[in-house]
Amino acid sequence: MKIAFITSEAYPYAKTGGLADVSFSLPRALHKRGHDVRIIMPRYYVVDKRRFKLTLIHAPLCVPLGFTEKWAAIYEAYDTVITYFIEHDNYFGRDSLYGYGDTPFEDNAERFAFFSRAIFPCLKAMEFEPDIIHCNDWQTGLVPVFRKTHYASDPSFTDTAVITTVHNVGYQGVFHRDNFIWTELGWDLCTAEGLEYFDQINYLKGGILFSDIVTTVSRKYAIEIQSEEYGYNLAPLFRKIKKRLYGISNGVDYGKWNPATDTLIPQQFTGDDLSGKGTCKAALQKRLGLPVNRKTPILAAISRLTHQKGMDLLAETVELLSADERFQFIILGSGEEWLIRKFEDLRSRFPAIFGIYWGYDESLAHLIEAGADIFIMPSRYEPCGLNQMYSMKYGTIPVVRATGGLDDTVIPWDPANGTGTGFKFTELSVRTLYGTIREVLRKYRNQKEWKTLQQNAMIFNRSWHDAAGEYEALYKLALKGV
Ligand code: ADP
């Protein structure tokens, strides 16, 4: 199949979050399965033309926008798959992708209307008539809308089906309704049945309404977002389209995340021989200034410090635990200042327990996965989650809230049968988290059972090859006009 993969970020070119990783791995996995995949993304200032060997392949590119025309250029880079970059410096020649700090750019509605519109002339200029246009998140929400309106009878796209993957319903691209002008569509589409959303406009809603198939990044999350609690006001829409709503879990790049081959950790290890994990543990304790002790269980978290990730609950819980349990706690993260202060306060009171690193550090993330014993993810919601899957591969036992992808991927430990890969809890409270972690620490003391649990976890496998196979099946369904 010919697949155009539309994304606002892709590793290694530009990354702010998990979407960039998916946009790296999925197109390559699809390519390996024999498909012709082209990624299309903006040419941000951070996409260095020299470093990434970008070649100018088409200019000028005329993009209709808001009843006028904008002029753009297409650059190309090749790294297993072709990536096309849409360049228009007025919109994308900035230091960051979506805003400064937590403040989004004021013209994001215009920027991503432009990007979405530019996809069509770009594909035509490249003479690439895709079977599938695969969109991601609100930044590409207008692509399905344009496919079914401005380009409905364009011969280049008559047989093209459109899929949208929603990576996190918490981000929808909601703008003042005046921005509807950028779409060049009739105001009849700026109604509750169209893009209108509480007197504003919502790009993600457009993407969902106009796509042939909508996916999200786990089976459980696809169900959860149909409820008010998780749907962020789009629950009724998700319920309405549930026959074309699917959940496909992300995969793990085992080329990068595998303790048997990982070069970022001091000693490699496997399920059969876990001795290297002890070496990694000692190195981790040393690196974060904690007493080196193999017997002290290490609890760990690697996370954005946000409300979504439940880090506030975790801070309170570990404070309580430190009064009556023996453990060390390690956190690698970045995010909200008040949470940083809270953990810093704990570190100053219990320096032998708390190992902390603020910032983004990929190699420390690998060392934590390898050296820790228990990995905690108390998320309020989690569309897919990757760290629980990385943890399992490294024999670091996940303790997760039973939500979204966490619920789909972790199987509860059953000591009677020696089955399961981790621990789950449902109620979102300090009391429950405290009780769960205490129970897990008790289980940790039985090292024979713990080893079985580790070995179970390490067998867990969710490859991008399998995930791509599931997308492939949905592409076929979309082409049949389901
Ligand atoms: P989300 O995309 O919601 O942040 P995921 O669990 O899906 O959560 O993916 C997060 C990814 O980012 C993981 O690969 C995780 O290891 C990584 N990560 C998060 N924070 C940091 C950090 N401070 N340093 C290094 N890696 C991090």
- The enclosing domain of 360 has a CATH number of 3.40.50.2000
Q: Is the CB of 17 under 6 A from ligand 1?
A: yes
Q: How far is the CA of 229 from the centre of ligand 1 (A)?
A: 24
- Transcribe 54-117 into DSSP letters: -EEEEEEEEEEETTEEEEEEEEEEEESEEEEEEE-HHHH-SSSSSEETTEE-TTHHHHHHHHHH
- Residue closest via CA to ligand 1's atom 7 equals 385
The answer to whether residue 29 is domain-embedded is: yes
The answer to whether residue 187 is domain-embedded is: yes
Within this chain, do residues 223 and 285 fall inside the same structural domain, yes or no? no
- Residue closest via CA to ligand 1's atom 26 equals 362
Q: Is the CB of 311 under 6 A from ligand 1?
A: no
Q: Are 471 and 28 in contact (CB under 8 A)?
A: no
Q: How far is the CA of 107 from the centre of ligand 1 (A)?
A: 28
> Which tokens go with 370?
């390898």
Q: Is the CB of 384 under 6 A from ligand 1?
A: yes
Q: Is the CB of 304 under 6 A from ligand 1?
A: yes
The answer to whether residue 265 is domain-embedded is: no
Domain residues for 140? 2-251+465-480
Q: How far is the CA of 365 from the centre of ligand 1 (A)?
A: 9
Q: Is the CB of 18 under 6 A from ligand 1?
A: yes
Within this chain, do residues 344 and 222 fall inside the same structural domain, yes or no? no
Within this chain, do residues 189 and 280 fall inside the same structural domain, yes or no? no
Q: How far is the CA of 20 from the centre of ligand 1 (A)?
A: 11
The answer to whether residue 303 is domain-embedded is: yes
Q: Is the CB of 19 under 6 A from ligand 1?
A: no
Task: Determine the pLDDT at residue 437.
Answer: 98
Task: Determine the pLDDT at residue 335.
Answer: 87
pLDDT tens per residue across span 446-462: 999 999 999 999 999 99
The answer to whether residue 270 is domain-embedded is: no
- Give long-range contacts, CB 8 A cutoff, 24+ apart: 448-451: 449/415, 449/418, 450/397, 451/274
> Which tokens go with 475?
């592409």
Q: Is the CB of 385 under 6 A from ligand 1?
A: yes
Within this chain, do residues 166 and 290 fall inside the same structural domain, yes or no? no
Within this chain, do residues 424 and 288 fall inside the same structural domain, yes or no? yes
Task: Determine the pLDDT at residue 144.
Answer: 98
Q: How far is the CA of 18 from the centre of ligand 1 (A)?
A: 7
- Transcribe 171-220 into DSSP letters: ---EEEGGGGGGGT--GGGSSTTTTEETTEEEHHHHHHHH-SEEEESSHH
Q: Is the CB of 310 under 6 A from ligand 1?
A: no
The answer to whether residue 257 is domain-embedded is: no
Within this chain, do residues 298 and 436 fall inside the same structural domain, yes or no? yes
In ligand 1, the atom with minimum distance to the C-alpha of 304 is 20
Within this chain, do residues 412 and 317 fall inside the same structural domain, yes or no? yes
Within this chain, do residues 425 and 470 fall inside the same structural domain, yes or no? no
Q: How far is the CA of 387 from the centre of ligand 1 (A)?
A: 7
Q: Are 269 and 277 in contact (CB under 8 A)?
A: yes
Q: Are 437 and 319 in contact (CB under 8 A)?
A: no
Within this chain, do residues 209 and 283 fall inside the same structural domain, yes or no? no
Strands 99-100 and 103-104: antiparallel
Q: How far is the CA of 145 from the centre of ligand 1 (A)?
A: 31
Within this chain, do residues 201 and 186 fall inside the same structural domain, yes or no? yes
Within this chain, do residues 434 and 336 fall inside the same structural domain, yes or no? yes
Site to probe by mutation for ligand 1, drawn from 9, 221, 331, 387 as the one with most ligand atoms within 8 Å of Cβ, is: 387
Q: Is the CB of 420 under 6 A from ligand 1?
A: no
pLDDT tens per residue across span 199-239: 999 999 999 999 999 999 999 999 999 999 999 999 999 99
**Stretches in the chain below the pLDDT threshold 50:** none
Task: Determine the pLDDT at residue 101.
Answer: 81
pLDDT tens per residue across span 120-150: 999 999 999 999 999 999 999 999 999 999 9
In ligand 1, the atom with minimum distance to the C-alpha of 333 is 23
Task: Determine the pLDDT at residue 324.
Answer: 81
Q: Is the CB of 365 under 6 A from ligand 1?
A: yes
As for how many domains the chain has, the answer is 2
Task: Determine the pLDDT at residue 18.
Answer: 87
The answer to whether residue 258 is domain-embedded is: no
Q: How far is the CA of 24 from the centre of ligand 1 (A)?
A: 15
The answer to whether residue 266 is domain-embedded is: no
pLDDT tens per residue across span 82-108: 999 999 999 999 999 999 987 999 999
Within this chain, do residues 92 and 30 fall inside the same structural domain, yes or no? yes
